[in-house]
Amino acid sequence: MAVDHFLSEKIWFDKYKYDDAERRYYEQMNGPVGGSAQQQENGASTILRDIARARENIQKSLAGSANTTSPGPPGDQNDLLSRISHLEVENQNLRSVVADLQMAIFKLESRLNALEKSSTSHQPAAVPPTQKVEPFSVPSKKVELPSASPAKKVEPPAAEEDDDDDIDLFGSDDEEEDQEAAKVREERLRQYAEKKAKKPGLIAKSSILLDVKPWDDETDMAKMEECVRSIHMDGLVWGASKLVPVGYGIKKLQIQCVVEDDKVGTDILEEEITKFEDYVQSVDIAAFNKI
């Protein structure tokens, strides 16, 4: 049973032959393996030769730069020495200028310090005027006290009674002034109320879009619109109109109007329009907006 099962399976016994044939085919196409190794060695030798040439070029360039940095003729050295001496002279001049500036700044600082000291020394002199202002309030209060005390000592009792009478008189004047002020206030309030009553209030208005429907397609729509516009009321203003098709050749009149809410109502307006029974079948409100 095992042999029969082994024979029934598909096994590639000759695979090694096909592998050898494939290897030989690729060797014929690309050459033998030894040839590729030789080519690699030739490529490596060329790379080494290029590296050697690059090293030689670098050494030559370094030698040339060393030659260029070698000291030149004595004339160039003299120019460098002269330039260095000139720079030293300029440096000394700049140092002297900086020293002069430092001295000037020091003098300015000393002057500022002296001015600050003098200003602080003069500040106390400005204090006495402010101190003198305060005593003026004290005499004004003290003057009333001596004037009242001698009056009480010198005047007889009759003078005191007169003072009381004067006080009563002043009180009556105050009462009269209060009455006059109340009258003036009442008069102003009355004038304000009259002015407010005369001023017109805000009128509430509404914009209404009406749909006026005829009986049939034979109704004269121009005559119907004329009849509708013949309605005149206080607070009613007719606007634009147009004919809107309804169906089966019938058109309805869509007309707009503006009414004052306190004077014209929608019920009254519908009743007046439906009075034209020969032309109008019904009236509907299509839109109603407050203005």
- Residue 283 pLDDT level (bands cut at 50, 70, 90): very high
> Within a domain: residue 216?
yes
247 — pLDDT class (breaks 50, 70, 90): confident
Task: Pull the structure tokens for residue 286.
Answer: 């299509």
Overall average pLDDT of the 222-237 stretch: 92
The least confident of 23-27, 68-72, 81-85, 279-283 is 68-72
- For residue range 139-152, what is the model confidence (pLDDT) as tens digits? 444 444 444 444 44
Per the structure, the complete domain to which residue 271 belongs is given by 205-290
- Any idea what the CATH number is for the domain that residue 216 is in? 3.30.70.60
Is the residue at 232 inside a domain? yes
To the nearest 5 percent, what fractions of the chain are helix, strand and coil? 70, 15, 15
Query: 63 lies in a domain?
Result: no
Q: Is the pLDDT score of 34 beyond 60?
A: no
pLDDT in tens, 259-277: 998 888 889 989 999 999 9
Residue found by looking up tokens 């169906």 in the block: 247
* Bridge partners (DSSP) listed for residue 208: 257, 288
Give how many domains the chain has, as a whole number. 1
Q: Report how far Cα 270 is from the mean position of its chain's Cα atoms.
A: 54
Q: Give the pLDDT confidence of 153-194 residue by residue, as tens digits.
A: 445 444 444 555 555 545 555 666 788 888 888 888 888 888
Decide: 251 and 243 in contact? Cβ < 8 Å: yes
Q: Is residue 239 part of a domain?
A: yes
| pLDDT top residue among 245 and 17 | 245
